[in-house]
Amino acid sequence: MPVRPRQTAAPRAAGAGAPRAAIELHTLQDLRTVVGSARRHDARIRRATGISGSQLWALDEVAHAAGITVNALARRLALHQTTASNLINALAERRLIRRSRDHRDQRVVHLHVTPEGAQLLARSPQPCSGLLVDALRRIGARDLNTLAHSLAVLLGAMRQAAPAAAGETLLGE
């Protein structure tokens, strides 16, 4: 089902002459829309596949980079290595991926999608990486840089208000 943009009379930028409170509320609504959209997409993935959005993204990355290591996968998903290992364990338990040891260095584990994993990917909702990652990949470099800067400013303000509670990096599942 296509998503229609929310229609609102709220201004998009401070330069539009709107009161600051209106801009704050509009921005808050937009942030809630981002989070809510990501959650709805994840729920849709769970219903269709029986795995989480993070697991589907990991499975898709393994499918596109056969033989990838857990550390390399963790970097691609912007996760801590332990969190990526947990994702891999869950996928391996469901027989969606298989592990193989490197013949030269037995400490290195390579990941491969199984036929069952490939079937699941073929019937899964798109984008496999999730709505947020997909959107970040599609916006232009200038807008991405502006967004990154603006989010850094927002996180900085949150850290000032509540240093112990704000700015913690989420590790995923």
Smallest CA-to-CA distance from 98 within 86, 111, 107 is with 111
Q: Is 67 part of a structural domain of the chain?
A: yes
- Domain span at residue 94 reads 28-161
pLDDT, tens digit (0-9, with 9 covering 90-100), for 83-139: 999 999 999 999 999 999 988 888 889 999 999 999 999 999 999 999 999 999 999
Q: Is 38 part of a structural domain of the chain?
A: yes
For the chain, what is the domain count?
1
Q: Is 167 part of a structural domain of the chain?
A: no
Instruction: Please name the residue ranges forming H helices in 50-99.
Output: 53-64, 70-77, 81-93
Q: Is 114 part of a structural domain of the chain?
A: yes
Neighbours of 133 (CB within 10 A): 16
Instruction: Please name the residue ranges forming H helices in the chain.
Output: 20-49, 53-64, 70-77, 81-93, 115-122, 131-138, 141-161
CATH of the domain at 56: 1.10.10.10
Q: Is 156 part of a structural domain of the chain?
A: yes
Taking the model in full, what pTM does it have?
A: 0.79
- In terms of C-beta density within 10 A (0-12 exposed, 13-18 middle, 19 or more buried), how is residue 60 classed? buried
Q: State the pLDDT confidence band at 172, using cuts at 50, 70 and 90.
A: very low
Asked if residue 47 lies in contact with residue 54, where contact means CB atoms within 8 angstroms, the answer is no
